[in-house]
Structure 1
Amino acid sequence: MIAEKVEFIFNQFKHDSTFVKHHELESGHINDTYLVTTKNKPYFILQRVNHNIFKDVPGLINNKLHVSLHVKEKLKHLPQNELNRRVLSFVKTKADQAYYRGDDGNYWNLMYYIDNSYTYETVKDEEIAFEGGKLFGEFLNLTHDFPVSKLTEVIPKFHDMSFRYAQFESALNSASKQRLDHAKLYIERVADMKEEMHILQHLKESGDIPLRVTHNDTKISNALFSKNNKGLCVIDTDTVMPGIVHYDFGDAIRTICNTAAEDETNLDIVEFNLDYYKAYKKGFLEKMNDTLTPTEIDYLPLAAKTMTFIMALRFLTDYLNNDIYYKTKYQEHNFDRAKNQFKLIDSFTDRYNQL
């Protein structure tokens, strides 16, 4: 039945391809994403956007389209085949819409699949870290002149620390005694770190750090690489919206410099890799240095700690809320993710003065 449904939805879009099969890509926490194989290439990526999480899906898809077109205009000097590998390209529906909405209320969008491309869940060497820094830095550089007022804030207060603390405190009031007792050590740590974790938010609110177009989910798995490990394309732009550069830099460092997957349960192998940090920052600044202010550069190290913390806080909050936000594979999955991120913070703190 699912194959028939995917084929039906795929055929609501304008293309000249014949559906053969689909394969679910399971790397994301929120949306359902399928690789659609067709009789002849190109293949496609079909995505169901989770409208329970994203309340303005048309705004979200328009964000993706407009930013993609802006980047394409900046790179129009490239040959067409190269341009198609460097920027996401979207397919409109037969009704000439950017998305298809099914009778069940679900929203779908379709993109061309970038062939011969690769993703990494974790970074294995400094070359990937450096190329990742260049790729995300280039994305921010190419969009630095895009007017943020034209973007929909698809998840209001997404990285707002005060908001995340309020969610956490609400979860404390409704959580079961069993989960509160289980998470007691980490609940205390959240309270201890509150003042430091608000520094970037205060700088943003005061205007000392400017608003920019930001990706807001710059984990390394959202970067496509060529077979020779060169950065190709930034993907999963669902969360593109106004933000500060530290959101993107910090979240990238969170995943790139973790020596293990974010749900690794053996905390002995979760460490902050300083060499990967240096490599990523070198690549990032190679593309971004001319557009960053001195204040933005000064606070890049704190961004790494802050964005790791905010993910730890969100995983812990969801655990206390009985796992209502993130997809989980087992009962303690969110708690394991939270412990993992706190261990990364500890390792980061040990190396902080070197940064």
Structure 2
Amino acid sequence: MIGVLRDVFDVFLAGEEFDSFAELTSGHINDTFLVTTKQQHKYVFQKINKGVFPDVPGLIGNKVNISNHLHHKLSNLTKKERQRRILTFLQTSGGESFYTDQNGDFWNVTIFIDESQTFETVTDPEVAYEGGKLFGEFIFLTTDFDSSKLVEVIPNFHNMYFRFDQFRESLQNASEERLGKAKSYIDRANELKKEMLILQDLKDSGQIRTRVTHNDTKISNALFDLEGKGLCVIDTDTIMPGIIHYDFGDAIRTICNTAAEDEKDLEKVEFNMDFYEAYTKGFLEKTGDAVSDLERKYFPLAAKTMIFIMALRFLTDYLNNDIYYKTSFPGHNLVRSANQFKLIQSFEEVMGRVS
């Protein structure tokens, strides 16, 4: 790996000297490395997983174009301040945003944001609030970017009709044993189908606008300073056209579950309303008039829908004999699906109490 990293280094950082590297293991898809130069500058080298993303140049183009847009929007800040608030992509000596190595793998390089931290889970409403502000600001600052200029890096990623088609096919191909074990969740998925198609229909009819969305708004993709204040939105591989509810709902799904995504003891799975309210407050403070009344009206449904889409995807993969998600034990995907369905139940109960 050191040889490849040096090749990438020479293309992006010809004026500096390579010193050391360390692998960053927080991501699950791409290979990421922290590289330090003899000049004591730090950079993040990332190899994009071309097996997951069919159009890597398009993906990198999305990231770079949005980052450039954000730099322009925050041009009132100093260059140093902007490089802490926004991912800054380097260009190769030939003026390209990526380098293709001898194996055909694609690399991009960003400036490392020092004196920062991430959170894998939320244990404090203040973190949820700061995360909401950070992702809300991302929506606000990109609201004037023409999303039609972005590549759809994962086609149909949040398309609910597509996910139900996959589910229907899995029902036709699943074993009797798995169908039996999953029956209660299959019934629940079918019961919720009409409600879970509402946002998709609003998007398809144009009643809710298509805009720039991040599409992976878990709290670990928010970078905080050492005092716990929101700093920078990171891991922008899945930027593409979408609706605001994708980003709001996915953040709520990951922030407000009181248990791990594959917790077997469903008694531990509850929806944390305090975190929901804190995140929503921060999100709305920063999105401001970039959010329409109609969009705001469907935020609660967005949370439920994004929980559901993961419940359905886990269930579909279980019925397909676990061909997509990595599993650690028999029935792992069914446990994950049960977990998300329990979170929906808790969400309904909590929302019922406050409505």
- The TM-score, its normalising length taken from structure 2, stands at 0.93
Structure 2 equivalent of residue 287 of structure 1: 286
Letter in 1 for 2:125: E
User: How many Å separate the matches in 2 of 1:5 and 1:265?
Assistant: 42
Q: Give the deviation of 1:116 after TM superposition.
A: 1.5
- Identify if the C-alpha distance between structure 1 residues 10 and 339 changes in structure 2 by more than 3 Å, giving closer, same or farther: farther
User: How many Å separate the matches in 2 of 1:348 and 1:114?
Assistant: 36
> Matches of residues 30-109 of structure 1 in structure 2 within 5 Å?
30-109=29-108
User: How many Å separate the matches in 1 of 2:10 and 2:189?
Assistant: 48
1:111 aligns with 2:110: yes
After TM superposition, the runs of 4+ consecutive aligned structure 1 residues lying more than 6 A away are none
Letter in 1 for 2:213: T
User: How many Å separate the matches in 2 of 1:136 and 1:147?
Assistant: 18
User: Conserved in 1, the CA contact under 8 Å of 2:6 and 2:18?
Assistant: no
Structure 1 equivalent of residue 20 of structure 2: 20
Q: Give the deviation of 1:25 after TM superposition.
A: 1.5
Letter in 2 for 1:127: E
Give the 3-state SS of the residue equivalent to 2:116 in structure 1: coil
User: How many Å separate the matches in 2 of 1:6 and 1:315?
Assistant: 36
User: Conserved in 1, the CA contact under 8 Å of 2:21 and 2:33?
Assistant: no
Q: Give the deviation of 1:139 after TM superposition.
A: 0.2
- Percent identity among equivalent residues? 56
Deviations 1:317-343 (A, max 9, x none): 233334333344455443333222222
Instruction: Supply the RMSD in Å over aligned alpha carbons.
Output: 2.0
Q: Tell which deviates more after alignment, 113-122 or 166-175.
A: 166-175
Q: Give the deviation of 1:151 after TM superposition.
A: 0.7
Give the 3-state SS of the residue equivalent to 2:23 in structure 1: strand
User: Conserved in 1, the CA contact under 8 Å of 2:174 and 2:319?
Assistant: yes
Q: Give the deviation of 1:272 after TM superposition.
A: 0.6
Q: Give the deviation of 1:80 after TM superposition.
A: 1.9
Counting matched residue pairs gives 353
User: How many Å separate the matches in 1 of 2:325 and 2:255?
Assistant: 21
Letter in 2 for 1:23: E
- Identify if the C-alpha distance between structure 1 residues 329 and 236 changes in structure 2 by more than 3 Å, giving closer, same or farther: farther
1:217 aligns with 2:216: yes
Q: Tell which deviates more after alignment, 129-138 or 182-191.
A: 182-191
Letter in 1 for 2:241: P
Give the 3-state SS of the residue equivalent to 2:119 in structure 1: coil
Q: Give the deviation of 1:177 after TM superposition.
A: 4.1
User: Conserved in 1, the CA contact under 8 Å of 2:311 and 2:341?
Assistant: yes
User: Conserved in 1, the CA contact under 8 Å of 2:17 and 2:39?
Assistant: yes
- Identify if the C-alpha distance between structure 1 residues 35 and 315 changes in structure 2 by more than 3 Å, giving closer, same or farther: farther
Letter in 2 for 1:196: E
Q: Give the deviation of 1:90 after TM superposition.
A: 1.0
Structure 2 equivalent of residue 146 of structure 1: 145
Give the 3-state SS of the residue equivalent to 2:237 in structure 1: helix
Structure 2 equivalent of residue 326 of structure 1: 325
1:162 aligns with 2:157: no
User: Conserved in 2, the CA contact under 8 Å of 1:6 and 1:22?
Assistant: no
Q: Give the deviation of 1:154 after TM superposition.
A: 1.1
Letter in 2 for 1:21: F
User: Conserved in 2, the CA contact under 8 Å of 1:121 and 1:261?
Assistant: no
Give the 3-state SS of the residue equivalent to 2:80 in structure 1: helix
- The TM-score, its normalising length taken from structure 1, stands at 0.93
Q: Give the deviation of 1:143 after TM superposition.
A: 0.2
> Matches of residues 155-234 of structure 1 in structure 2 within 5 Å?
155-234=154-233
User: How many Å separate the matches in 2 of 1:160 and 1:188?
Assistant: 21
